[in-house]
Structure 1
Amino acid sequence: MTRVLFVVSAADRWTLRDGEVHPSGFWGEELAVPHKVFSAAGWEITLATPGGKVPTLDRLSMSRTAGWPWRLREVAAYLESIRDRLDSPGVLAEMDPDDFDVVFYPGGHGPMEDLAVDPVSGAL
């Protein structure tokens, strides 16, 4: 069985170069769709964040400007269906990359706040 590590941002904000701070997190569709596809393929998925912190959904990813309402409802429903997994991620520093066949990073602006500068993430 293929094992995949989802490295998810634990950031709830994105700090710009000028110091301006925007609410942020992981982008809903960029986590939900691959997770659903990989799950349907029978892959075993482990979610991990820096420090094992519960990830924050970027609310903009679920806003009207992010897509068709029917699509956003599908994404929201899928994220709710995996809520227990999102609420209890593993600690990224405790993950052994040799235990996984694939490492996947869902997008959004949140990863720029924490994963882009995290030494464990960088080593992956």
Structure 2
Amino acid sequence: MPGRAAPARTTLRRDRLGDAVAAALEAAVELHRPIALEKADPGEYAAVFYPGGHGPMEDLAPDADSARLLTAAIESGTPLALVCHGVAALAGTMDGDGTSPFAGYRVTGFTRAEEEQAGLADRMAWVLEDRLVALGLRLSAGEPWASHVVVDRTLHTGQNPASSASLAAALLKTLS
């Protein structure tokens, strides 16, 4: 539901790292009060991050507020990081004449090969890889299920869940 916190995972690893992650999440009070996308101003943040999952393909790809946020971020030089299916949000940035401010950027995202290996390619309304190419993005695909990150200007993209840590490291390098 927009503007509400996502349900928290109730079972974290019960070790030193799990306890540290749980404490950090609890201390990040901003996560307890998410804002709706239409109220998000990229100028108020050091970076914009979009997670993966099939939700972004259905919810963020056609969302005008998401497209506005992504376009404003790229135009202002705010670093963007999108991982896996979260890269689908870029599809919403196509304007009426069929162009996107991201056209020509090098990106990666969940590949057709990964969708096929997961048994999902035939059950989806569209495949991310095809949509990215149609947007005029220059797709870079790594080995299926292996970490693969592409950084082009202020846009950081990770191919799949295995790319999450490498994507975070690339974004932190940009921010430091």
User: If the length of structure 2 is used for normalisation, what is the TM-score?
Assistant: 0.32
The structure number with the bigger radius of gyration is 2
Question: Which gives a bigger RCO, structure 1 or 2 (Cα 8 Å, sep 6+)?
Answer: 1
